[in-house]
Structure 1
């Protein structure tokens, strides 16, 4: 399938964000997805994930996590940026809200909009849901999971799908359990799909397959996650149409 890729700009006050918009030429999308990538931003992996969503019938905006279109190419560059997102989680929420508002202008009125977050992007997506984010559904895949920040609401008003590995050292089972407890207490519509023998970044082929590493690619879990994402998209879009 041909995919058109264009610059996607939005702003929060004086802060400018530069993402990417991917769509199929001439197609009417069944949904729009704000994709929050892992720490590398608009990387080949993020483009691959977005391109796959386009084949499923979506228009996709790859959000700019850090502002000004910054896409780091080494962990040394990004450490302080991710720590800033963690320390000031409200900034990520504001940026995503602006991204979603801008994305709505790129699709026909009434098109369901969802968020899909990977790693640090998953933290932002879940916080956006906690902040009464105006979307039809939220998906997290190999996310940097965090319980709600102090003063943050825990109620999420839309369905949430969380896809995590049981061997994830970034978001270990204790954190997964804490988030489940929070979601249950708030009465949220959340489902968790856990993949055994699966580590953080299981969606990333560049992570390698050394089982002793912190980041490990799992082609089986990556394939299962894409199937789960596709099924969730179908469910949410059908619900949005009143079926």
Structure 2
């Protein structure tokens, strides 16, 4: 019985992902390949959710998230940050490539803006957008806020919070939600304190939620369940963070 249910779930996930359409787009001269999802029954405001993947790039998880949001009436777009031919093939490469964008936030923001334009081109209202991201993508969601992109909210799932200390804390107009594993070893306390100071200096409307016994990548089933590795799936944190995210969306798009 369990095997049948598992097969059914896999079929349903495959069908949901099949609704996503591959989209080629560009940032400057760099060709990018993302995925757009158009809801069968869009919400009245035609809100859109831009999804920024973790450091290995677009994966099954980000496509599943897009499909779940499509079912709720949101337009979605899964962004390609690295570009065609540049996807990492190992965690070491992913660390190097994601580190490059973290060290060049203006380029990261340009790649995010290109994906936002693709999301809007798919049908989403340009004034009703939320950016979410996972791990490296969570850092990108915060960069969308720091860069003053036209978005109503940003959400970081187990993302990096730090930025170069030489960057001045500017004002942040968009709402910010950070969903954080309380035991995440990859986000040092100094980054947490600097981020919270940044939000206060920016007079931002921000929230930060901690999840007990959760480490990095707590929404990623592919991460396994061994917390000692520093990155692991946590079912309770995954479900709770999704619920907090949905409440955040309802607040933003309730008017």
In 2, distance between residues paired with 1:231 and 1:35?
A: 17
Q: What runs of 5+ residues in structure 1 fail to find an aligned partner? A: none
- The answer to whether the Cα contact below 8 Å between 1:8 and 1:61 also exists between their aligned partners in 2 is no
| Match of residue 232, structure 2, among 204, 216, 233 | 216
Measure the CA separation in 2 of the matches of 1:188 and 1:135.
14
Matched, 1:19 2:34: yes
> CA contact under 8 A between 2:48 and 2:75: conserved in structure 1?
yes
1:178 aligns with 2:191: no
User: Which runs of structure 2 are paired with 1:1-243 in the superposition (5 Å)?
Assistant: 3=16, 4-24=19-39, 26-29=40-43, 30-68=46-84, 70-107=86-123, 109=125, 112-147=128-163, 150-151=166-167, 153-238=169-254, 243=255
Give the structure with higher Rg (CA).
Answer: 2
CA deviation profile, 1:149-205 (whole Å, cap 9, x unmatched):
634553211111110011111113332222011111221111111112110000011
Return the TM-score normalized by structure 2. Answer: 0.86
In the alignment, structure 2 segments of 5+ residues that lack a partner are 1-11
Task: Measure the CA separation in 2 of the matches of 1:151 and 1:210.
Answer: 36
The alignment's TM-score, normalised by the length of structure 1, stands at 0.90
* Alignment partners' CA distance in 2, 1:93 and 1:149: 18
- Structure with the higher fraction of residues in helix conformation: 2
Q: SS at the partner of 2:215?
A: coil
Change in Cα spacing, 1:149 to 1:48, as seen in structure 2 (3 Å) is: farther
Give distance in 1, aligned partners of 2:126 and 2:28: 27
Secondary structure at the residue paired with 2:32? Answer: strand
Asked if structure 2 preserves the Cα contact closer than 8 Å seen for 1:165 and 1:200, the reply is: yes
Asked if the contact 1:114/1:137 (under 8 Å) is kept, the reply is yes
Distance 1:50 1:41 in 2: 14
Tell me which moved more, 165-174 or 221-230.
Answer: 165-174
Q: How many corresponding residue pairs?
A: 238
**Would the alpha carbon gap of residues 151 and 210 (structure 1) be closer, same or farther in structure 2, given more than 3 Å must change?**
closer
Distance 1:5 1:149 in 2: 39
